[in-house]
Structure 1
Amino acid sequence: MSGSWRAGLLAEGVSITVTAKAYRLLRAILMTATEDDKMLSRNPCWIKGADNERTPERPILTLAQVFELADRMADRRFKAMILLTTFASLRWGEVIALRRKDLDLTARTVRVREQLLELEGGEMRLCPPKSRAGKRTISIPSAIIPALADHLKRFVDEAEDSFVFLGKRGAFLRGGNFRREAKWAEALKEMGLTGLHFHDLRHTGNTLAAQSGASLADLKARMGHDSDRAALIYQHATRDADQKIADALSARVKAERKKARKKDH
């Protein structure tokens, strides 16, 4: 029970940290039900390490993999969704809440004004973004504009308030419906990818933005974060990668010089 519940949270894009906190709370509640109230014979929360908030290294797609994944979506409505989520660093709730009026393909921007959350009991509710910084306007790479224009033309009603990404029957998208209709697992298997969550598209987008040399302030604005912490993670990762490149170049220079000295002797 606890295993499938935890897996469901992670699959929906809930962070490791939040999932771990929720797991600890559930385990404490069930421990009371088991030891104090004798309502259960044993605590079903038994997953080793599930309460650990240490975030494992998440997969990062290459540019080629992002476009391949988009092309492999079983339903063509989701090609533009994959591209926009990645290259605008959007959260799941943000991308499924987008309206036609939020996309300006001439200015090449997408505006995040709200998010769509699935509440307990299954109700879908439009809410403000996670923080004040969550309301933002993000520039879109020109390379994905044709896919977005095609999507708007083929799948989105002309009304400015029309939602950009909906399920097959015109209802709000839910994580399970998306994975089923897009055949997400099948696409990942065909590409030889394992353990990729939808949230990792945002992670990939954040990484690409950091690799472009964006400043801390620019990264925070693009990601929709109030604090420096998350943006610094991507900057540090980029600096680490850059240092490895520099070390590799240094090793190559040393090898070439050593080879040259041997020739001289």
Structure 2
Amino acid sequence: MATVEQVFALAEAIGIRRRLMVLLGAFASMRPEEPAEIRLADIDLDTGSVRVRRAAPGLITARRVIGDPKSRAGKREIMLPGFILLDVRRHLEWIAQDGARWPRLRGGAGRGPARHHLRSEVAQGA
């Protein structure tokens, strides 16, 4: 289990494009495949919440399959901790595009980032 300090160190090391994915996983209990399918319409800055409606788990073939979350309970609204909202706003201003998947966690050829790419980005201080 990572400490709060370790989570923020990882979020810094992984870079601005994927920082929010780390924070959502650690502090909003989101599975890695869930942030990859959040759309702008799923975010409510007024209430500080995000709706999880889809997920994009990776397959052995490095493809992602968009579908429902892992379980029925996986479709849910998550109230985000206040300290993450600044990161959400920054991400929306700097990274996200109209209608785009929110964290823009897409890799080459429309695929999501492979885990080994994330590891190498952290190691290189991307």
Same fold (TM over 0.5): yes
Instruction: Name the structure 2 match of 1:127.
Output: 67
Higher Rg: 1
Once the two structures are superposed, what CA deviation does each residue of 1:216-241 show, in whole Å capped at 9, x if it has no partner? xxxxxxxxxxxxxxxxxxxxxxxxxx
* Amino acid paired to 2:88: L
Pick one of 96, 119, 122 that aligns with 1:179. Answer: 119
Q: 1:121 to 1:173 in 2, by over 3 A?
A: closer
- Give the whole-Å Cα distance in 2 for the aligned partners of 1:76 and 1:119: 25
1:167–1:178: 8 Å Cα contact kept in structure 2?
no
- Give the whole-Å Cα distance in 1 for the aligned partners of 2:86 and 2:58: 31
How far the C-alpha of 1:76 sits from its partner, in A, is 1.4
How far the C-alpha of 1:186 sits from its partner, in A, is 5.2
Q: 1:71 to 1:170 in 2, by over 3 A?
A: farther
More helix by share: 1
* Amino acid paired to 2:21: M
Instruction: Name the structure 1 match of 2:50.
Output: 110
How far the C-alpha of 1:123 sits from its partner, in A, is 3.0
Over 6 Å off, 4+ runs: none
Pick one of 53, 61, 82 that aligns with 2:22. Answer: 82
Once the two structures are superposed, what CA deviation does each residue of 1:61-93 show, in whole Å capped at 9, x if it has no partner? 2222222221122x3111122112211101111
Q: 1:153 to 1:184 in 2, by over 3 A?
A: same
Structure with higher RCO (Cα < 8 A, 6+ apart): 2
* Amino acid paired to 1:78: R
How far the C-alpha of 1:171 sits from its partner, in A, is 3.1
Which consecutive unaligned segments of at least 5 residues does structure 1 have?
1-59, 188-265
Q: Give the 5 Å matches for 1:111-260.
A: 111-159=51-99, 162-165=100-103, 166-167=105-106, 171-174=110-113, 175-180=115-120, 183-185=121-123
Q: Give the 5 Å matches for 1:93-108.
A: 93-108=33-48
Q: 1:120 to 1:67 in 2, by over 3 A?
A: closer
- Give the whole-Å Cα distance in 2 for the aligned partners of 1:85 and 1:122: 21
Instruction: Name the structure 2 match of 1:67.
Output: 8
Aligned-pair identity (%): 33
How far the C-alpha of 1:121 sits from its partner, in A, is 3.4
Which consecutive unaligned segments of at least 5 residues does structure 2 have?
none
In the alignment of these two chains, the number of paired residues is 123
- Give the whole-Å Cα distance in 2 for the aligned partners of 1:151 and 1:68: 18
TM-score by length of 2: 0.83
Q: 1:93 to 1:63 in 2, by over 3 A?
A: same
Once the two structures are superposed, what CA deviation does each residue of 1:31-73 show, in whole Å capped at 9, x if it has no partner? xxxxxxxxxxxxxxxxxxxxxxxxxxxxx12222222221122
1:96–1:173: 8 Å Cα contact kept in structure 2?
yes
